[in-house]
Amino acid sequence: MNKKPNILITGGSGYIGSCLALYLKKKYQIINLDKKDNKHLSIEICNLLNLKKLTNILKKKKPKLIIHLAAQSLVDETINKEKYYQNNVIATKNLIMAMKNNNLTNLIFSSTAAVYKYSGKILNEKNLIKPKSAYAKTKLECEKIIKNSKINSVILRFFNVCSSLKINNKIIGEYHNPETHLIPTIVYKNLLKKKFYIYGKNYNSIDGTCIRDYVHIKDICSAIDKSINYLFNNDKKFQIINIGSSSKNTNLEILQKIEKITKIKNIYTIADRRKGDVDLLVCSNSKAKKILNWEPQKSNMNTIIKDEIKWVKYLIKNHQKRTFKNYLK
């Protein structure tokens, strides 16, 4: 019986990392690496800023491929910019160095749609780059580091990742603290019949609220799986690829769909538009189709909402407390 290849996931305790480990474990031997523990997963504890320890772990585990998800990801300008630089840029430099020290050559990196300059159009990989937040700026810096390293790599620019993954009666979903994302916030507040705020009513859209591209976590896992296959089976070994649904959804459309599914009336107020929010952030995934043979299968908004409801009900049943930011006061 052939031994399953070792694949190491940085940020393995996080939302995407936890889901990905569950999704890939039948095909690969998964090594979850994170600076914090996770009671549901076996975690190799390591801060990527500790180059010596990181190098030793890679030497011991010898992963055939690394999926780099670890990052300072909360987009919050109150966070010290140096924290973003250390946890994103320096951590990525250390990972590249540790890989080279161990002759490891395959890397998948999770980047963000926030690196693009706003154009008011559907975004493809040739669109102009102009990140605004410290988070997006450091993600772009990481992209450049990876490209210059000459390591075989696929950079995936994720749009709005959401919903939950259930495999073999195990369910994993978003659990940020504080929660900043729209869909988990609204579903949670809707089910508990609590008030929340939607920001902006003067966007260039059918109902005045902003338009976004939401992609189901299972489709994200599938895109990463396809990227693994690409790196293992192709000669051209550097790609930057958008991963999104290519579907347009306004905030109010999402609210209405949640109401229709739960049959519970939302209690909300539309507040002033937040500074820096753009009208439209939706991707073209044509390159993903061409290069990875990937298309979203679960990113219909009704499916996204139904799977999010399952996760939120699980949290409520298990008395998991949540705090929120941005969408309520």
Tokens of 198: 């939607």
Tell me whether residue 135 is one of the annotated catalytic residues.
yes
Give the type of residue at 313: K
Tokens of 187: 């579903």
Tokens of 112: 């963000």
Query: What is the β-pairing status of strands 165-167 and 170-172?
Result: antiparallel
User: What are the E-state strand segments in the chain?
Assistant: 6-10, 29-34, 43-45, 65-68, 106-112, 152-158, 160-162, 165-167, 170-172, 195-199, 211-212, 214-216, 238-243, 249-250, 267-271, 280-281
Q: 144 Cβ partners below 8 Å, 6+ apart?
A: none
Q: Active-site residue among 116, 135, 199, 203?
A: 135
Q: What share of the chain is helix, strand, coil (3-state, %, to 5)?
A: 40, 20, 40
Cα Rg of the chain (Å, integer): 19
Cα 228 from Cα 37, distance rounded (Å): 26
Using a 10 angstrom Cβ sphere, with 0-12 exposed, 13-18 middle and 19 or more buried, the burial of residue 302 is exposed
Q: Which residues are catalytic?
A: 135
